[in-house]
Structure 1
Amino acid sequence: MAKGKVTINELICKGCELCVSVCPKHVLKLSETKINAAGYNPAEPVNDDCIACTACAKMCPDCAITVEKLD
């Protein structure tokens, strides 16, 4: 299976958890330690199990997620 890398733009993430809910590999969660300038806990990757399906990026209403497919 393909491997991927998820990058979250923490400055614009509103912590809505939509990305967390659609990830089939449970790669994302809301940060328990970070708070962005808008006062939200941004999403963050918690493991390297990403399969580059891009479900999280497609679901994000703020386009705060980039998914790279790794070789």
Structure 2
Amino acid sequence: MKNISEITINEQWCKSCEICVNFCPKKVYEMGRFYPIAARPEDCIACKLCEKLCPDFAIIVTAPEKPDSSKK
């Protein structure tokens, strides 16, 4: 099973500037009717570029937890 990043977009803070859509290196986002949507979250590499560039702090990317290699 592939681990997928959790992407949260706060629609109340988002002003639909499309920075996340334009700068995502994996093209995870598409513009919805009013706000961006994470159309391909399975492609997210959790670089958090969208989170860093968002002028409204409307995006939070939570990387998937790495498996604990100490457990056997």
TM-score (normalised: structure 2): 0.77
Asked if 2 retains the 8 angstrom alpha-carbon contact of 1:3 and 1:52, the reply is: no
- Secondary structure of residue in 2 paired with 1:70: coil
State yes or no: 1:46 paired with 2:53: no
Please state if 1:69 is matched with 2:60: no
> Following the alignment from structure 1 to structure 2, what is the Cα–Cα distance between the partners of residues 69 and 57?
12
RMSD: 1.4
Counterpart in the other structure of 2:15: 14
SS of structure 2 residue aligned to 1:56: helix
Structure 1 residue 3 displacement after superposition: 4.5
Q: With CA pairs under 8 Å and 6+ residues apart, which has the higher RCO, 1 or 2? A: 1
Give 1:24-43 correspondences, 5 Å limit. 24-32=25-33, 41-43=34-36
- Higher Rg: 2
What count of residue pairs does the alignment treat as equivalent? 62
